[in-house]
A and B are shown apart, each in its own frame.
Chain A
Amino acid sequence: MCISMLRFIGYGWIDEFFVDPPLHFKYWGFAWVEVLPRAEMHALFWILAALALGIMLGVYHRLAAALFAAGFSYLQLIDVATYLNHYYLASLLALLLAFSPAHRAFSVDAFRHRNRRAFAVPAFWLYLFRFQVGVVYTFAGLAKAQSDWLVHAQPLRIWLGSHTDLPVLGALFTLPGAPTVMSWAGFGFDTSVSFWLLLHRTRRFAYPALLVFHALTGVLFPIGMFPVIMTLAALVFFPPAWPLRLWARWYPAITQQEHRVRQGDRRAALPRAALAVGALYCTLQIAVPLRFLTYGGNVLWHEQGMRFSWRVMVREKNASVTYLVREKTTGRVRHVNPRSYVTRIQEREIATQPDLVLQLAHHIRDDFQRRGLGPVEVRVDAFVSLNGRRLARLIDPQVDLGAVRDGLGKATWILPSPSEPPPHTQPI
């Protein structure tokens, strides 16, 4: 995460994603979260980078983790359009680290407080981190359990077409069955890798396969730090003594401490209240990704229940959105391009997400009111192509979005997804 923060600083993304946009899109219930001024935003990123470094080194670990979790979560809450699954994961891991005794060994904190150092922590923490990482893989796999991915090999057909110039692999991508094979391989990997990592006999094969998988996805897709985060996070599936074993190659005296770890420390038990909280956390981590079932329809289309559900790289979607603003008093209709209010990057993100199209409609309504052109009705021409399908209307063009309230309930103003399957395009 330290590297991630430095990437933001180095690439100029702080200004591009947070400072420069004239408008930010809010999470439901978090409209009060505002972006800081430019200097403070830059300072925040430097602070977060330092905190991430502190977590890694185990310097005031719990404080560093708690502050990082708070600061990084604040960044995510500023603008929905910047949501990424791996940023969500980073927030969760930071939160868990803030409560965990991860600093008890191999940390600066442990070095400073040698008398309190312990090589045993409640197994609960290990299982919790394994659960969290396993949830990501499993739900990412389950998200691929749909006909577009498994039957029609979309959107992989589309994505592989961008990389046919890779040596060796590029030619393989053009083979007729390659997208289908890779779709099933991805599905199989995501849904099962946690299981194989858990088993001692299969872990030695599963982790190298994981390395290859993430190396390939990192090369093929612009997913930033996600492969690195998952590659490192998956290490929790190894027996907790592996760092000691590695260390023991250079410091054999450590083996005595390793023996103590194997014996376990019965004094490191967890209070029942903590177990209850942990159980609640786990329940939420399963329930939240499954909430899409309450909405029905195609979640990749209507996006209700899409965020926080680990649907990683499962759809290719592009939209053309034009707002039709009708002045109630004169009847005059104006066509408003979203880029009149948002950056091009924001437009690409919001155009395919109905709740954000709705937020912008409200902003347009209010802006027209402020300029003395109100009251207005705001309708939208929103056409979307999902996984290469023919473009289809996403939102009912008859509905005045200016009068629609945002909420968690099923949005009746979102039209049903197209019923035809995606085309079988071919990587060339």
Chain B
Amino acid sequence: MKRAHPAAVAHWVKALAFALSIGACRKAAPDERVYQGRSNTPGTPPVGSGGSAGNPGSGGTGADPTAFSKAALLGAVADCAIDRYREFRDAAAVLDDTARTAAASAAPSDVASMRQAWLVAMAKWEQVELFRFGPMARLVDPGGRDIRDRIDGWPLVSRCGIEERIVSRAYDAPELSMALINVRGLAAFEYVAFYEGSDNACSNFTAINAHGTWAALGAAEIARRKLEYAAASAKDVRLQAEALVEAWSPTGGNFRAELLGAAQRPTFGSEQKALNAVSDALFYIEIEGKDWKLGRPVGLGDCAAPTCPDALESPYARQSTAHLQNNLAGFRLVFEGCAAGNSGTGFDDWLRAAGASDLADRMLAALEQAENAVATLDPPIEQALATDPAKVMGVYTAFKGLTDLLKTEFVTVLNLELPKPAQGDND
């Protein structure tokens, strides 16, 4: 065999080194800031939302598909998320204030204000649930800090656990901030704030029943301690909400920079992975939405009875239908855009730019179908389960139509991955 010419070998080595070097590099993220969102001042009306890429502050204009870029989408989603987090933080602050007042006075009007504040906070929160990436996400996810579960641990709520803490008064700070998620957060708040009964959900063998410590409190003391628990929960939620906003703030965790600079930063490593994390949040509509909030209550899951009203998300405040509406609203913000009228850059723009306009339209149509199904759920789901379960089933079917597209064509066309804990090898 003849020896290879040294010059030829050197040439190919250089070519290989070049190929490997460009494979190790990613281009720099642009400096453009697409959507400014609201300012940090409470009560300030929203700034005009950036419609098209590279045009911050222009309100109300639809995104031009030909101007789409992944960086623009990341920027739009980041700013939309920050805006939603701030709105929730502000609502959590009001909840904290009203809960403290109600706990101090126990006046019916103050309790009513507290409950109203919870309704407002939950309306914001249920939209925020669709922005579960970065610090909101689990610890195992890129940039995750488990903040979501500390704000709202549903469906992992233990009424008996809460009642045990009511007896032991293990809700004073800092106990609650270190407690498991099933006895704290917005779901725990709902129970103590809205359920006026003096019974408990623990078994007869649980200490509070076996030793009679629950019964010994009496109805009035139970009600008073519930208000104290509500105040402690609200304070805890407020702190977590502030931590979430701080995690994204330029002077705090600056996660916005992590997201927008995904290609250069270690958290994600590429724009695609960052967009994957954002798209993972959309799957809330599948598991939490379709399967848990609808499938379980309507009896499609593990439920001995024909329906399982106990599995509803909001059994005490009876807001399950409103929660579903806000979940879909949050989905639309991420998918279609966060600007006025849902213009602005969203995943639908990515689909259109990639030549999948038909899929974008069908997903929007499926989303509208789900929204209409929830909107026409009259009476609300809590009653409909008993009087018209077929209607609830219709909502479930509408959700499934959307999630089927999400799990199949959407992730395929955009080469996204279904949410999973780790990435293995493939071939």
Q: A interface vs B, CB < 8 Å?
A: 11-13, 16-17, 84-86, 158-159, 161-170, 200, 204, 208, 211-212, 215-216, 218-226, 238-239, 241-242, 312-313, 316-320, 322, 332-337, 339, 343-345, 347-348, 383-391, 423-428
Contact = CB atoms under 8 A, between A and B. Distances in A.
B12 A239 contact: no
A215 B355 contact: no
Given A337-B291, A391-B405, A424-B355, A211 B16 contact: yes
A268 B270 CA distance: 54
A239 B12 CA distance: 20
A95 B356 CA distance: 47
A211 B16 CA distance: 7
Interface string B382-411: 000000000000000000100111111101
Interface in B297-354: 299-302, 306, 350, 353-354
A219 to B, nearest CB: 3
Nearest to B69: A428
Which one of A348, A424, A428 has the greatest number of beta carbons of chain B within 10 Å? Answer: A428
Given A166-B26, A211-B12, A428-B353, A223 B407 contact: no
Interface stretch (B32-40, B104-112, B369-377, B413-421): B413-421
A99 to B, nearest CB: 26
Given A84-B425, A223-B427, A167 B27 contact: yes
B308 to A, nearest CB: 11
A319 B413 contact: no
A219 B299 CA distance: 47
A165 B70 contact: yes
Nearest to A85: B427
Closest 8 pairs (CB-CB, A-B):
A224-B425, A219-B23, A208-B12, A385-B408, A320-B407, A335-B300, A344-B420, A391-B408
A344 B419 contact: yes
Q: Is the interface of A mostly helix, strand, loop or mixed?
A: mixed
B270 A334 contact: no
A313 B427 CA distance: 5
B215 interface: no
A361 B346 CA distance: 37
Contacts of B220: none
A36 B295 CA distance: 36
B68 interface: yes
B409 A168 contact: no
Which one of A12, A215, A225 has the greatest number of beta carbons of chain B within 10 Å? Answer: A215
Interface in B37-72: 68-70
B8 interface: yes
B409 A391 contact: yes
A216 B19 contact: yes
B168 interface: no
B415 to A, nearest CB: 5
A202 to B, nearest CB: 12
Contact of B356 (A221, A224, A388): A388
Nearest to A88: B427
B7 interface: no
A426 B302 CA distance: 43
A347 B270 CA distance: 25
B15 interface: yes
B356 to A, nearest CB: 6
20 contacts: A16-B421, A86-B425, A161-B414, A162-B270, A165-B27, A166-B27, A167-B26, A208-B16, A211-B16, A212-B16, A219-B19, A225-B425, A226-B427, A316-B412, A318-B412, A344-B418, A347-B418, A348-B418, A388-B356, A391-B405
A169 B27 CA distance: 10
Nearest to A223: B427
A215 B19 contact: yes
Contacts of A216: 19, 23
Given A13-B424, A161-B415, A166-B25, 5 more contacts: A84-B426, A161-B354, A339-B287, A390-B409, A391-B408
Contacts of A332: 299, 306
Nearest to A348: B418
B413 to A, nearest CB: 5
Interface of B: 1-2, 4, 8, 12, 15-16, 19-20, 22-27, 68-70, 263, 270-272, 287, 291, 295, 299-302, 306, 350, 353-356, 358, 400, 403-409, 411-415, 417-427
B413 A322 contact: no
Contacts of A428: 68-70, 350, 353-354
A425 B355 contact: yes
A246 B316 CA distance: 79
Nearest to B425: A224
Contacts of B2: 200
B409 A388 contact: yes
B422 A16 contact: yes
B16 A312 contact: no
A214 to B, nearest CB: 10
A165 B26 contact: yes
Contacts of A226: 425, 427
A329 B203 CA distance: 33
A243 to B, nearest CB: 13
B19 A383 contact: no
A320 B423 contact: no
A212 B26 contact: no
B15 A208 contact: yes
B311 to A, nearest CB: 13
A335 B353 contact: no
Which one of B350, B403, B414, B425 has the greatest number of beta carbons of chain A within 10 Å? Answer: B425
A333 B4 CA distance: 70
Contacts of B354: 161, 425-428
B22 A167 contact: yes
Nearest to B354: A425
B361 to A, nearest CB: 12
A425 B427 contact: no
A165 B412 contact: no
A320 B425 contact: no
A387 B356 CA distance: 13
A373 B341 CA distance: 49
A212 B422 contact: no
Nearest to B417: A348
A239 B1 CA distance: 8
Contacts of B15: 208, 212
A25 to B, nearest CB: 15
A390 B425 CA distance: 27
A268 to B, nearest CB: 21
A85 B425 CA distance: 11
A385 B27 contact: no
